[in-house]
C-alpha cells in the first residue's frame, strides 16, 4: 500500500473527527448515543489510530544506507501483525524469505536528490565488495512508475552475468544515464529521460548481507 493510498484513507477520517469534534466543542451540538453510533465511532477511531501507529512505528523496521532502503525479515514466519503491515506499507518490494533474496530500492542519489535521466550517475563497487551471494546479484532500472525502460540495447538490468568490465584495481563502475557513456557501454544501465527507480537484488545472499554488515554503495551524480 502506497503513502498516497494511506493519505486518501486518513484524510476523510481526520476531517470527520475534526468536524464533529468542533461542532460539539464550539457549538454545543449533542448527539444521542446508541450502540450503533458507538460502534461506528469506535471503528473510525480504531482505523485512524492503527494507521497512525503503523506510520510511526513502521519506520523502525526500515533500514536506510547511502540512500537505499530495505527491510530485513519481511518474509519470515512468525512475524508480528505490525511488522507484516509495515512491510506491506513501507517497502514495496517482493516479500520472501531473506535467505532467498534481499532487495534494496532507491529513487534518490547519495546526496538525497531525486534520480533523473537529465543527470548521469555512477554506482561504484570497490574491489571485492559486490553484493555477496551464493547465486547472483542484479541492478534493475524502473521508470517513475516502476516499469521497465525501453532502450536501444534492450538492457533493463545489469548483473554478474552481464560481462561488466572491471577497472584496473578490480572495482566495478556501473554507468546510469540516458545516453550511452562513451567507452563504457559494457557497464551502461540505460535510464529514461525522466525520473526513475533502482532496485538492487542479491539472491541467496551471503552472511554479510543477512547480518546487516554489507553496505550498499551510493548512487553518485557525475558532475
Q: What is the DSSP string of 59-96?
A: GGG-EEETTEEE-TTTT-TT--HHHHHHHHHH--S---
Beta-bridge partners for 219: 123
The CA distance from 88 to 20, in Å, is: 32
Instruction: Please name the CATH architecture into which domain 63-221 falls.
Output: Sandwich (2.60)
Judge residue 156's burial from the number of C-beta atoms within 10 Å of its C-beta, 0-12 exposed, 13-18 middle, 19 or more buried. Answer: middle
**β-pair type (121-125, 188-190):** unpaired
Domain residues of the chain, as ranges? 3-58, 63-221
Q: Give the CA count within 13 Å in the CB-facing half-sphere of 129.
A: 15
Count other Cβ atoms within 10 Å, centred on residue 194: 13
Query: pLDDT digits over 20-49, tens only?
Result: 666 666 666 666 767 887 787 777 777 777
Per-residue DSSP letter, 11:
H
pLDDT per position as a tens digit, 68-78? 999 888 888 88
Give the SS3 label for residue 201: strand
CA-to-CA dists, residue 84 to 8, 89, 111, 127, 129, angstroms:
21, 9, 30, 36, 31
Average pLDDT of the residues in 191-219: 96
**pLDDT (tens digit per residue) in 115-149:** 999 999 999 999 999 999 999 999 999 999 999 99
Q: What's the confidence (pLDDT) of residue 26? A: 66
Distances (CA, A) of 123 to 3, 83, 158, 185, 188: 28, 31, 12, 14, 11
Instruction: Provide the whole-model pTM.
Output: 0.78
Number of H helices, E strands in the chain: 4, 10
Amino acid at each position: 500500500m502506497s503513502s498516497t493510498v494511506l493519505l486518501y484513507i486518513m484524510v476523510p477520517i481526520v476531517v470527520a473527527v475534526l468536524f464533529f469534534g468542533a461542532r460539539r466543542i464550539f457549538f454545543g451540538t449533542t448527539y444521542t448515543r446508541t450502540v450503533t453510533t458507538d460502534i461506528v465511532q469506535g471503528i473510525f477511531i480504531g482505523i485512524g489510530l492503527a494507521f497512525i501507529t503503523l506510520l510511526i512505528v513502521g519506520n523502525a523496521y526500515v533500514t536506510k544506507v547511502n540512500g537505499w532502503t530495505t527491510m530485513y525479515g519481511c518474509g519470515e514466519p512468525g512475524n508480528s501483525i505490525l511488522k507484516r503491515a509495515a512491510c506491506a506499507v513501507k517497502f514495496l518490494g517482493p516479500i520472501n524469505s531473506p535467505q532467498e533474496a534481499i532487495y534494496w530500492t532507491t529513487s534518490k542519489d547519495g546526496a538525497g536528490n531525486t534520480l533523473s535521466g537529465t543527470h548521469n550517475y555512477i554506482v561504484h563497487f570497490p574491489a571485492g565488495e559486490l553484493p555477496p551471494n551464493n547465486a547472483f546479484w542484479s541492478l534493475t532500472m524502473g521508470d517513475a512508475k516502476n516499469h521497465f525502460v525501453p532502450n536501444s540495447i534492450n538492457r533493463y538490468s545489469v548483473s554478474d552475468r552481464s560481462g561488466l568490465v572491471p577497472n584496473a584495481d578490480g572495482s566495478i563502475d556501473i554507468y546510469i544515464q540516458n545516453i550511452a557513456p562513451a567507452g563504457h557501454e559494457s557497464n551502461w544501465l540505460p535510464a529514461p529521460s525522466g525520473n526513475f527507480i533502482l532496485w538492487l537484488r542479491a539472491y541467496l545472499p551471503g552472511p554479510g548481507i543477512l547480518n546487516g554488515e554489507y553496505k550498499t554503495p551510493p548512487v553518485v551524480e557525475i558532475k
